[in-house]
Amino acid sequence: GENVEQHPSTLSVQEGDSAVIKCTYSDSASNYFPWYKQELGKRPQLIIDIRSNVGEKKDQRIAVTLNKTAKHFSLHITETQPEDSAVYFCAASPDRGSTLGRLYFGRGTQLTVWP
């Protein structure tokens, strides 16, 4: 099955700096890559996603890039704020009959933004 690796496991940045989280995946059939933000004790929230026919997508301070050849994708957060502190998960979804609609998650990155 799909295997998603996520790095780093923890990331500390100063408010206003940028943060980058990287993920790799193994299944070439994966064509949907969402990112979730999970605050302590709360549900994972979808913050941005990208599909395999697009190389980059931006939404205000967050952006995601995808390199299908290298099988990796990244989350970029600019002008970080303390409220960005949370665990961020990347995921991949293979477009394959047996696993259609299934998300495979990385292990998460604890992002801490210091004021």
Which residues in this chain contact other proteins in the complex, by CB under 8 A?
1, 4, 6, 32, 34, 36, 42-46, 49, 51, 89, 91, 93, 98-108
Torsion angles phi and psi, residue 39, rounded to 5: -85, 160
Q: How far is the CB of 63 from other proteins (least distance, A)?
A: 18
Q: How far is the CB of 106 from other proteins (least distance, A)?
A: 5
**62-67 and 72-77 beta bridge pairing:** antiparallel
**62-67 and 109-114 beta bridge pairing:** unpaired
- Alpha-carbon span 29 to 18, nearest angstrom: 31
Q: Which is nearer to other proteins, 91 or 111 (CB)?
A: 91
Q: Which is nearer to other proteins, 1 or 8 (CB)?
A: 1
Q: Which is nearer to other proteins, 38 or 78 (CB)?
A: 38
The two structure tokens encoding residue 81: 């704020």
Q: How far is the CB of 14 from other proteins (least distance, A)?
A: 25
Q: How far is the CB of 46 from other proteins (least distance, A)?
A: 6
* Sheet arrangement for strand 19-25: 4-7, 19-25, 72-77, 62-67, 56-59
